[in-house]
Structure 1
Amino acid sequence: MCSSSDIQAGNRLPGLEHLMRFRHRITPILAIIALLFPYSYVSAEDWESTSWLDGLTMFGMVRLRPEFRANGDFNRKTDDTDEFVASKIQFGMQKKFTEDTSIVIRLQDSRLWGGSPGSDTGFSTANDTTQESLDLREGYIRSDNLLGPLGITAGRQILDYGGGRQIGRTDWNNVGRSFDALEFHWDLGLWHASLAGAVLAEEDNNGGGNNTGVGRSNASEITFNCDPATGLCTVQSSTPRELDDAYMGVFYNELKFHPQFQVEPYYIGIYKKWIPATTSPFPGLPVPPKERSRQRDNLHTFGIRFTNKTVNGKSASELIDYSLEFAYQTGFNGQRVQSDWDILNQTDPNGNPIYTDRQYYDAYAAYGEIGIRPMDFMRVAVAMDVASGDPDRSDAAVATYQQLFPTNHGAMGDMDLVGSRNLVGRALKLAFAMGKFGNLQLAYWHFQKHKAQDSLYGNGGEVLRDLDGDLLSTETRTNARYSPVLDSTGKITEHPVAELGTQLFHEYNLIYSFKANGLKFNMGYGQAHALDAVRHAVDETYMKPDLREPAFDPRSQWAYFMLTAEF
């Protein structure tokens, strides 16, 4: 235990220091809120009811989705055909204590059929080693008009803003996304706002039985590989811990000037704690106690959206709908690189650059979609998405747009092959509402890189590679004009600028849905045809003939069938 004398002497426990830091941060915010919304607004209400069933609502869902994906890396020599059945089961309740105050609890079981068959040596039904799939999707307290127009939502909750391009529900995903957050909201005339703070990662255990899974002190899946001849062992971790404490702040505003014109300015901040160094900058000497491998990483995203989708997310007009959004990113990522002006690339005796600059974010993204209804049952739309890429990843400017979270399903094609990084996407969409016969959607997408030197990124923001670990598109970090970078076997690891391509692939989507007997049925098919930036990388076009292994297959396919029942 920690005595009061320990605290007075300055020997605070790490957890207590963390709590005090948080208290100092939140106290000014609460004080400002109290000034904006005085106590006179507060009114006492009686929570008593005639029955505990009063104000109680139960809800639930069962969703099953067989899914098929083939040739996602456009390489006919890799075994990348996936077939699986995913299920999502939810059950929850909402209890209203007053007209404005309630709690919501939603349990969710998410699993792959056959994903936890039990032990390898026992019966397949033994299940003596399984991965639990039951989790809490939502669990929060909400109180509207708590201090005048000010309301609060506290707990595990789903944050969904605007078109969901930056932060969305991702309900298509079999797990979805929830945040442990504190959120304030208010309505003042035409102004609706949400101010939220969330803990994305916590490095400290609470000392009461809850252990965290992140932080540099928590090893993840460590393995030892030992040479039986020499007895030497190497230690590897399949999940490097490069994240300690991380937080998110959101200030999202909706200004509804007219049902056909709503402006939504917003700010989203991602704040990551510094990471201490694990290797000494001075060979043979211990790591200095304050040496860091990365300083604080603060990513600031400022954006604005214009739309007429003001009626529960749908257009206020029966003829036209539109959504236009622009976002800009700035901040410092906590790392330093060789200064651009130091053309001699001077280094110290340990090989470290003498002159360095702080790396900073300087990226942008823009999304736009406009649809018209020439007839009541038909919608025609055009869409264009741009997410900046980085033409020189060795300099101080990080120009690749930093995708905050995996993109929502269908935002950039229903196959979800790409993410919102170094991308230009153009689409033509057709939708037919056929009443009792269901709904049909057709779409064509064309994707290309924004900058040829940068990578091709996946739906989660990761650099895409094939199953052999090779890059899925032509790219470079050195920006050499004609000279490729080779590995020890002579294979190209970086292409020269003269060999780079920008064209990625065409994508075609068909989605059909209908309802019958209280059930929802959805089915879809997608096909992508890869272009030169992928073909040259997979086929190793620029390799020496004796090292080349052509394996390009331009067609990738995807299909699903989804059955949903909910109440």
Structure 2
Amino acid sequence: MKQALVIPLLAAASAGLSLAGEPAAKNPKAVVIPPPEPKIVTFDFQERLRFEYRENNFDFNDGVNSLTDDSWLLQRARVGIKVSPTDYLSFYVQGQSSLELDSDRPNEPGVMGAEGDDAIDLRQAYIKIGPKDLNITIGRQILSYGDERLIGAFDWNNLSRTFDAVKFHYGTKDWSIEAFAASVVVADSDTFNYSDLFDGNETGRNQVFSGIYFSTAALCPLGSTTDFYALHLHEEYLAGDTNFVTLGTRLKADVTKTGGWDFETEMAAQFGEVKDKDLSAFAGHWGFGYVWTKSAWKPRLFAEYNFATGDSNAADGDVDTFQNLFPTNHKFYGYMDAFAWQNIHNPAISFSVQPTKTVKLQLDYHAFFLADTSDAWYRANGVTAVRPIKGSASDFVGTELDFTASWKATKNLSFLAGYSHFFCGDYAKATGAADDADFAYVQATFDF
């Protein structure tokens, strides 16, 4: 009897009928929520405050109370507006105000390491034409490539760096290519910031910086990013013209795809002319480590070596010093900014942990040697020499210990604190005073 009843029920269900003989109700379709309409006008705002304390960072001399042996407050505010009337057209303008408060350093940016005052200026102003995968950007903008060892925004600096540029971008799922022609914007505390492109900064260099940068994730089976680039710099000086090419490559691991193994390298060669002298130079970075991705604190241990050629003879008509271009050196060669990717041997080791998702603690240890004592010890700006050249001195400059702590308190508020100590080595002792140096800071950033 039960079997006789079940068979008709199954038949009715397969025919789409209810037990009452009516058509079975079909499942209602899922409600489709359309994506939100893109905003035509958007705003962004950033306020950053950083208190710094520095002792002997520039002269390494306890016996002199330098203007740079002091503490001060760096304040920076940015306001931007973006107008996007269509998916293929957008305009962006960003103003910036940067101040160095309660400081005895000169008010002009770059003098004695000062970041200076630039109360109101234009940081970015560009038009972008085309879709996401094929577009051109024209105007004042940020150029940032790779890890920023050669081209970066240098955002640690209160003024940071932008370019007046034209940039073309084409990208697919697996690779992208960009080509640009640019001139760096020069900060001036008294007037509007100009680049050489508009001859407003009175440098007279007629600087044109151009390049092609290719990046892909498809070449390496370990899921890393591989980059290739060709860069050219043209500048004019009374001592002669500068025209040289930088050819380089970069490889960087994605630790989420390598089982925690962390590796990276970047190498670049340069040839051409610097102020009418023949240039031939090389720089390299090699690093290897491991991230315990399954551990709660995600410990990371990383060892690296940085090298860049120096010049063995300033009078022979050749230049062998690697030209560091427009980098963000603060991230790489010690947080006291006493070194650039020039004339350097720099082995280093780093260890970091993340006690929570929003907190990171890191300890870095650097050793510094000059690649050639017949060349200068260059600061992070790649221009200023720390000490007079002494070819007979030891190449060991010193070591630096950096501790940093970062905390992402909320979506919009983050904090950064750090302490660095420099231990002077034999080269520093042979070329002047050699007292240890200290650097401490606390920074708060609000982004909206």
Report the Cα offset of residue 54 of structure 1: 3.3
Instruction: Give the 3-state SS of the residue equivalent to 2:310 in structure 1.
Output: coil
2:262 to 321, 331, 336: 321
1:305 to 215, 233, 250: 250
Maintained 8 Å contact 2:151/2:326: yes
The 1-side partners of 2:196 and 2:88 are apart by 36
1:256 is matched with 217
Q: 1:7-47: per-residue Cα shift (whole Å, max 9, x none)?
A: xxxxxxxxxxxxxxxxxxxxxxxxxxxxxxxxxxxxxxxxx
2:12 is matched with none
2:441 is matched with 560
2:63 to 77, 80, 88: 77
1:244 is matched with 205
Does residue 418 in structure 1 map to residue 312 in structure 2?
Answer: no
Unaligned ranges ≥5, structure 2: 1-36, 105-115
1:533 to 414, 427, 433: 427
2:286 is matched with 368
Instruction: Give the 3-state SS of the residue equivalent to 2:427 in structure 1.
Output: helix
1:342 is matched with none
Q: 1:268-291: per-residue Cα shift (whole Å, max 9, x none)?
A: 11111364xxxxxxxxxxxxxxxx
1:106 is matched with 94
Instruction: Give the 3-state SS of the residue equivalent to 1:63 in structure 2.
Output: strand
Maintained 8 Å contact 2:358/2:409: no
1:144 is matched with 130
Report the Cα offset of residue 535 of structure 1: 0.4
Report the Cα offset of residue 212 of structure 1: 6.8
Report the Cα offset of residue 114 of structure 1: 4.4
Instruction: Give the 3-state SS of the residue equivalent to 2:372 in structure 1.
Output: coil
Maintained 8 Å contact 1:474/1:536: no
Report the Cα offset of residue 463 of structure 1: 3.6
Maintained 8 Å contact 2:45/2:447: yes
Q: 1:468-493: per-residue Cα shift (whole Å, max 9, x none)?
A: xxxx26524xxxxxxxxxxxxxxxxx
Does residue 86 in structure 1 map to residue 74 in structure 2?
Answer: yes
Does residue 520 in structure 1 map to residue 435 in structure 2?
Answer: no
1:381 is matched with 302
Report the Cα offset of residue 410 of structure 1: 2.1
The 1-side partners of 2:63 and 2:97 are apart by 36
1:56 is matched with 41
2:152 to 168, 174, 177: 168
In the alignment, residue 537 of structure 1 is paired with which amino acid? T
In the alignment, residue 48 of structure 2 is paired with which amino acid? R
Maintained 8 Å contact 2:329/2:341: no
Does residue 134 in structure 1 map to residue 120 in structure 2?
Answer: yes
Structure 1 runs of 4+ off > 6 angstroms?
A: 209-215
Normalised TM-score (structure 2): 0.79
In the alignment, residue 175 of structure 2 is paired with which amino acid? W
Report the Cα offset of residue 107 of structure 1: 1.3
In the alignment, residue 291 of structure 2 is paired with which amino acid? R
Unaligned ranges ≥5, structure 1: 1-51, 117-129, 203-208, 221-240, 276-292, 336-358, 466-471, 477-498, 539-550
Change (3 A) 1:107 1:253: same
Change (3 A) 1:500 1:267: same
Change (3 A) 1:259 1:185: farther
Change (3 A) 1:262 1:514: closer
Instruction: Give the 3-state SS of the residue equivalent to 2:62 in structure 1.
Output: coil
Maintained 8 Å contact 2:121/2:193: no
Q: Could you tell me the percent identity over the aligned residues?
A: 27
Report the Cα offset of residue 53 of structure 1: 8.8
Report the Cα offset of residue 366 of structure 1: 0.3
1:29 is matched with none
The 2-side partners of 1:409 and 1:433 are apart by 22
Change (3 A) 1:415 1:244: closer
The 2-side partners of 1:162 and 1:213 are apart by 23
1:331 is matched with 272
Maintained 8 Å contact 1:385/1:426: yes
Output aligned runs, 1:116-515, within 5 Å: 132-145=118-131, 150-188=134-172, 190-200=174-184, 243-257=204-218, 258=221, 260-273=223-236, 275=238, 293-294=239-240, 296-309=241-254, 316-317=257-258, 319-335=260-276, 359-374=277-292, 376=295, 377-435=298-356, 438-465=359-386, 472=387, 474-476=389-391, 499-515=392-408
Q: 1:194-225: per-residue Cα shift (whole Å, max 9, x none)?
A: 000013489xxxxxx9997979x99x9xxxxx
Report the Cα offset of residue 510 of structure 1: 0.6
Instruction: Give RMSD over aligned pairs.
Output: 2.9
Maintained 8 Å contact 1:436/1:514: no
The 1-side partners of 2:129 and 2:368 are apart by 44
Change (3 A) 1:316 1:564: farther
Change (3 A) 1:255 1:214: closer
Maintained 8 Å contact 2:299/2:353: yes
Q: 1:47-93: per-residue Cα shift (whole Å, max 9, x none)?
A: xxxxx993322111111000011112222222231211001111112
Report the Cα offset of residue 132 of structure 1: 4.5
Report the Cα offset of residue 408 of structure 1: 3.2
